[in-house]
Amino acid sequence: MSDLEMAATTELGTHAADTPPAGATPPPKTRSLAADAWYDLRRNWIFWVAAALVVLVILMAVVPGLFSGADPTACNTRRQFAGPSGGAILGYDFQGCDVFSRTVHGARASVLVGLFAVLLTGVIGLVFGMLAGYFGGWLDALLSRVVDVVLGIPLLLAAIVLSKRLAADRQGSGIATVVIVLGILGWTTAARVMRSSVLTARSQDYVAAARMLGAGPLRIMWRHILPNALAPFIVVLTITLGTFIATEATLSFLNIGLRPPAISWGIDIATAGKHVREAAMPLIAPSLFLTLTVLAFIMLGDAIRDAFDPKLRR
Amino acid sequence: MTYQYPSHGQGQGYGQGSGQGQSYGHGYPDSPTAPVVAGWNDDRTGWDTPTAAWSTPPTRARVERPRSGEHLLDVRDLWIEFATRDGVARVVNGVSFHVDPGETLAILGESGSGKSVTAQAVLGILDTPPAVVRSGQALFSGEDLLTMTPERRRQVRGQEIAMVFQDALSALNPVYPVGWQITEALRSRRGVSKAEARRRAVEMMDLVQIPAAAQRIDDYPHQFSGGMRQRVMIAMALAMRPKVLIADEPTTALDVTVQAQIMDLLATLRAELEMALILITHDLGVVADVADRITVMYAGRVVEHADVHTLYGAPAHPYTRGLLASVPRLERRGQGLHSISGTPPNPVAIPAGCAFHPRCPYAQQMCRMTEPTLLRIGRLDRASACHFPPEALDARHA
Amino acid sequence: MARYIIRRLLQMVVTFIGTTFVVYALMFANQNDPLQALAGDRPVSDNVRQVLTEQYHLNEPFLVQYGYYMQGLLTGDLGRTLTGRPIGDVMSDAWPNTIKLALLALFFATLFGITAGLVAGLRRGSIFDNTTLALTLVVVGLPIIVLAPIAQLVFGVKLGWFPTTAGARPSLYGLILPALVLGAASTATMMRLTRASVAENVRADYVRTARAKGLSARRVVAVHVLRNSLIPVITLIGVDLGTLMAGAIVTEGVFNIPGVGSKLLLGIQTEDGPLVVGFVSVLVIVFLVTNLLVDLLYAVLDPRIRYE
pLDDT tens for residues C32-53?
566 666 666 666 677 777 777 7
Bridge partner residues of B375 (DSSP)? B62, B384
CA B64, distance to chain mean position in Å, is: 19
Mean pLDDT along residues C82-98: 82
Q: Is C246 an interface residue toward A (CB < 8 Å)? A: yes
Portion of chain A with pLDDT greater than 70, in percent: 79
Predicted local confidence at residue C53, as pLDDT: 73
CA B26, distance to chain mean position in Å, is: 19
The whole-angstrom separation of Cα C155 and Cα B107 is 66
The whole-angstrom separation of Cα B64 and Cα B15 is 5
How far the first Cα of chain C sits from its last, in Å, is 10
A216 or C219, higher pLDDT: C219
Bridge partner residues of A253 (DSSP)? none
Portion of chain B with pLDDT greater than 70, in percent: 79
Nearest to C206 among B158, B171, B223 (CB): B171
Predicted local confidence at residue B335, as pLDDT: 67
Q: Is A180 an interface residue toward C (CB < 8 Å)? A: no
Q: Is A43 an interface residue toward B (CB < 8 Å)? A: no
Residue B139, helix vs strand vs coil: strand
In chain C, whose CA is at the least distance from the CA of B235? Answer: C213
Predicted local confidence at residue A3, as pLDDT: 41
Predicted local confidence at residue A164, as pLDDT: 66
Mean pLDDT along residues A113-135: 89
Please report the number of interchain residue pairs, chain B to chain C, with beta-carbon separation below 8 angstroms: 77
Phi and psi torsions of B29, nearest 5°: -45, -40
The B161-164 sheet, strands edge to edge: B161-164, B244-248, B276-281, B104-108, B293-298, B301-307, B383-384, B375-376
Q: How many helices (H) and strands (E) does chain A have?
A: 13, 0
Residues with Cβ < 8 Å from B265, sequence gap 6 or more?
B208, B209, B231, B234
How deeply is B206 buried, as exposed, middle or buried, from its count of CB atoms within 10 A (0-12, 13-18, 19+)?
middle
State yes or no: pLDDT of C304 exceeds 70: yes
Task: Give the CA distances from residue B348 to residues B84, B345, B351, B354, C127, in Å, rounded to whole numbers and listed in that order.
Answer: 8, 8, 10, 15, 30
* Domain annotation for chain A: domains and CATH numbers: 32-312 (1.10.3720.10)
Residues with Cβ < 8 Å from C83, sequence gap 6 or more?
C272
Predicted local confidence at residue B24, as pLDDT: 42
Mean pLDDT along residues C123-131: 85
Mean pLDDT along residues A112-138: 88
Pairing of strands B131-140, B73-84: antiparallel
State yes or no: pLDDT of A113 exceeds 80: yes
Predicted local confidence at residue B324, as pLDDT: 82
Residues with Cβ < 8 Å from B379, sequence gap 6 or more?
B11, B15, B59
Mean pLDDT along residues A23-45: 64
Predicted local confidence at residue A7, as pLDDT: 39
> Which of residues 160 through 219 in chain C touch B, CB cutoff 8 A?
203-206, 208-216, 219
Partner-chain contact C208 B155, CB within 8 Å = no
Q: Which amino acid is at A289?
A: F
C274 or B59, higher pLDDT: C274
Residue from A16, A11, C227, A19 nearest B166 by CA: A19
B361 or A162, higher pLDDT: B361
Predicted local confidence at residue A33, as pLDDT: 67
Mean pLDDT along residues A94-108: 80
Predicted local confidence at residue C37, as pLDDT: 60
Residues with Cβ < 8 Å from C300, sequence gap 6 or more?
none
Mean pLDDT for all residues in chain C? 81
The whole-angstrom separation of Cα A266 and Cα C20 is 29
Predicted local confidence at residue A118, as pLDDT: 92
The whole-angstrom separation of Cα B321 and Cα A85 is 90
Digit-coded pLDDT (tens) for A227-284: 777 888 888 898 889 888 888 888 888 877 777 777 888 888 888 877 777 777 888 8
Partner-chain contact C246 A145, CB within 8 Å = no
Mean pLDDT along residues B352-368: 82
Contacts of B84 in chain A (CB under 8 A): 24-25
Q: What one-character DSSP code corresponds to residue C249?
A: H
Residue from A136, A137, A114, A133 nearest A125 by CA: A133
Mean pLDDT for all residues in chain B? 76
Nearest to C206 among B163, B172, B223 (CB): B172
CB neighbours of residue A166 within 10 Å: 20
Predicted local confidence at residue A6, as pLDDT: 40
Mean pLDDT along residues B109-123: 85
**Confidence band (pLDDT; 50, 70, 90) for C62?**
confident
Residue from C38, C214, B352 nearest A165 by CA: C38
Q: Which of C122, C123, C206 is most worth mutating to test chain B (most B CB atoms within 10 A of its CB)?
A: C206
Phi and psi torsions of A211, nearest 5°: -65, -40
State yes or no: pLDDT of A95 exceeds 60: yes
Q: Which amino acid is at B134?
A: R
Nearest to B173 among C203, C211, C228 (CB): C228
Residues with Cβ < 8 Å from B273, sequence gap 6 or more?
B238, B241
Predicted local confidence at residue C306, as pLDDT: 64
The whole-angstrom separation of Cα A183 and Cα B159 is 60
Can you give the pTM of this predicted structure? 0.75
Q: What one-character DSSP code corresponds to residue C162?
A: S
* Domain annotation for chain C: domains and CATH numbers: 96-301 (1.10.3720.10)
CA angle C70, C76, C79 (to 5 degrees): 80
The reply to whether omega before B129 is within 30° of 0 (cis) is yes
How deeply is C141 buried, as exposed, middle or buried, from its count of CB atoms within 10 A (0-12, 13-18, 19+)?
buried
Q: Which amino acid is at A309?
A: D
In chain A, whose CA is at the least distance from the CA of C15? Answer: A149
State yes or no: pLDDT of B60 exceeds 90: no
CA angle B350, B353, B359 (to 5 degrees): 70
Mean pLDDT along residues B14-27: 40
Portion of chain A with pLDDT greater than 90, in percent: 3
Predicted local confidence at residue C11, as pLDDT: 79
The whole-angstrom separation of Cα C293 and Cα A217 is 40
Q: Which of A1, A150, A156 is most worth mutating to test chain C (most C CB atoms within 10 A of its CB)?
A: A156
Partner-chain contact A154 C277, CB within 8 Å = no
CB neighbours of residue C281 within 10 Å: 24
Q: Of B134-143, B144-153, C56-65, which range is least confident?
A: C56-65
| Ranges assigned E (strand) in chain B | 73-84, 87-99, 104-108, 131-140, 143-144, 161-164, 244-248, 276-281, 293-298, 301-307, 375-376, 383-384
Bridge partner residues of B161 (DSSP)? B157, B244
Q: Of A2-6, A175-179, B250-254, C283-287, which range is least confident?
A: A2-6
**Confidence band (pLDDT; 50, 70, 90) for A117?**
very high
Is B283 in contact with B112 (CB distance < 8 Å)?
A: no
Interhelix angle C62-75/C2-28, rounded to 10 degrees, is 130
CB neighbours of residue C146 within 10 Å: 28
Digit-coded pLDDT (tens) for B310-358: 888 888 888 888 888 777 766 666 666 677 777 788 888 888 888 888 8
**Nearest-CA distance from C306 to chain B in Å?**
11
Mean pLDDT along residues A64-82: 71
The whole-angstrom separation of Cα B284 and Cα A96 is 87
Q: Write down which chains contact chain B via at least 3 CB pairs under 8 A.
A: A, C
A51 or B111, higher pLDDT: A51
DSSP B91-107: EEEEEEEEE-TT-EEEE
**Confidence band (pLDDT; 50, 70, 90) for B48?**
very low
Digit-coded pLDDT (tens) for C176-191: 889 989 888 888 888 9
Predicted local confidence at residue C35, as pLDDT: 64
| Alpha-carbon radius of gyration of chain A | 23
Residues with Cβ < 8 Å from C158, sequence gap 6 or more?
none
Predicted local confidence at residue A32, as pLDDT: 66
Is B158 in contact with C212 (CB distance < 8 Å)?
A: yes
Predicted local confidence at residue A167, as pLDDT: 59
Predicted local confidence at residue C237, as pLDDT: 80
What H or E segment, with its residue span, contains residue A148? helix A137-151
